[in-house]
Structure 1
């Protein structure tokens, strides 16, 4: 059944045009469309198929059923199907939000107003925590934040001042497997900005980032992923940048590009599926010393 699912959802449009039986059988496709289950007009994205397989794997474990989601046959079939589908990769942000671009955005978040404090904390956290996806930023809750011991600014100096640290529990992210629960460590400026926002907004539980109305009232609801994207584009416009050239995905590719330019040792997170292709090679980029990963600025 699993192999059929892969074959039905990852197919080659060119082969389908020549052979109607390639991919999902026409009668199966029609029944799914009639019931509203199938809406895509072409083959599904490989990541969509992977996420659905991961969800089914979790469900079968909860029900105590034996499952074959980790079988070599399924992994091989998925790999070959992805290669055969030849789906073009869609760039989600024309330009990466590298360190120098982020610095320009942060300049627009000056002052101690709630909107400025929220946006400053959001941008710093999204970038410094490894370029989080907008849904991960929007879904972050206070319960996911864990205070950690401060670290010395200069480990070689016994009297060195310390920097605040915070651990973020991400749970299962988009590309995580069923057994993975991811965490990231924030150090210094992002931690300070996040604490300032939470204190000013009086948030002690629930969503970290929330809408703010025109009268300055903080909503109990969480921001949506679209709102995170809009905040980034708004700040780009205020910084004199073209908002159409940037999206929230640019924070992710920008972090990875920044890490590569600084020669930062790749972690398993950066080597995970879908991450390496986000790395860009800008012609000229200003590198800010001391602005590495979780301690940007």
Structure 2
């Protein structure tokens, strides 16, 4: 690989490269298409999977095909007017409600922490080192993810050397890159030290138990309780959280995902009268539409507002 190719390769995120490779494989091998493709063949590909793949998946496949043609120096068939019309028709004939992760409410977070602390006490009594490590790691991961509104990929990329703790105040976290940092300039986040549900204390307890001084913060733990050198895979965090929530007795644990931490914090902040600008700055959103997708109103059915108006009319 030349130095130019090396930097071009680095410009595309690893997850994006994998998903694009999978999409091209699906078009060529699974469907039997030919590259370079024509607008007509891409349109037929879309219609063949219109009733089995979501519109977002189809758009991702189109993005992969577009990128392949640009990289190879061929005209991009996905920009043809017929593709736009086919996509519009698929949306009309196959409408699908967007699924969103259930936000982790503060009460559920407190229930989870109580369960982890109780289970941790039992693990200490039984000298179960594997359980101790897993519980300490998971507690730090959940509390840090919630109070900072981190995505799963951001949690997996946290490194000890990029975190500075100021006793009784908080910790400063530097992320060299993240999904919202399109220019790869790096972002600095601050997490507060709290009187309860404290992410800083949980982080310090995790480091004290592992004696870690550098490298990934959140790592895999094997069946024998040995700590890996590699970070947790971002795709494994949803499975980890659902098992944790199930064991803690949270209702509808399968409705949660790694986005539940981010949505949970955004909903909590909105309920506690954070203005949208402050919330966007804290979490790192650049687009207000992205921010609003994460916020769930405390009065979901508008019951409080309607009942208040009805009672006001009745008293008049």
Q: 1:116 matched to which residue of 2?
A: 135
Equivalent position to 2:236, from 227, 237, 241: 227
Q: Deviations over 1:79-98 (max 9, x none)?
A: x99x97969673241x2102
Provide closer, same or farther for how the CA distance between residues 252 and 124 of structure 1 changes in structure 2, counting only shifts above 3 A: same
CA contact (8 A) 1:92 1:247 kept: no
Residues 82-161 of structure 1: matches in 2 within 5 Å?
Answer: 90-93=98-101, 95-110=102-117, 111=120, 113-129=132-148, 131-147=149-165, 149-150=166-167
Shift of 1:249: 0.9
Bigger share in helix: 2
Q: Whole-Å Cα distance in 2 between the matches of residues 214 and 26 of structure 1?
A: 52
TM-score with structure 2 length normalisation?
A: 0.57
Shift of 1:272: 2.7
For the pair 1:278 / 2:285, whether they are aligned, the reply is no
Query: Gapped runs of 5+ residues in structure 2?
Result: 1-36, 45-52, 71-83, 125-131, 301-316
Q: Deviations over 1:177-213 (max 9, x none)?
A: 2154222101112111101101211211111101122
CA contact (8 A) 1:211 1:218 kept: yes
Q: 1:246 matched to which residue of 2?
A: 256
Q: Whole-Å Cα distance in 1 between the matches of residues 98 and 180 of structure 2?
A: 17
Q: Whole-Å Cα distance in 2 between the matches of residues 206 and 170 of structure 1?
A: 13
Q: 2:79 matched to which residue of 1?
A: none
Residues 1-297 of structure 1: matches in 2 within 5 Å?
Answer: 25-26=39-40, 43-45=58-60, 90-93=98-101, 95-110=102-117, 111=120, 113-129=132-148, 131-147=149-165, 149-150=166-167, 163-178=168-183, 180-188=185-193, 189-241=198-250, 242-266=252-276, 267=278, 268-269=280-281, 270=283, 271-273=285-287, 274-283=290-299
Q: How much is the aligned-residue C-alpha RMSD, in angstroms?
A: 3.8
Q: Which has the higher contact order (CA 8 A, sep 6+)?
A: 1
Query: Gapped runs of 5+ residues in structure 1?
Result: 1-22, 31-38, 57-79, 151-162, 285-297
Shift of 1:27: 5.5
Q: Whole-Å Cα distance in 2 between the matches of residues 90 and 181 of structure 1?
A: 31
CA contact (8 A) 1:108 1:235 kept: no
TM-score with structure 1 length normalisation?
A: 0.61
With 95-104 and 249-258 compared, the bigger mean Cα shift is at 95-104
Aligned residue pair count: 214
Q: Which one has the largest radius of gyration?
A: 2
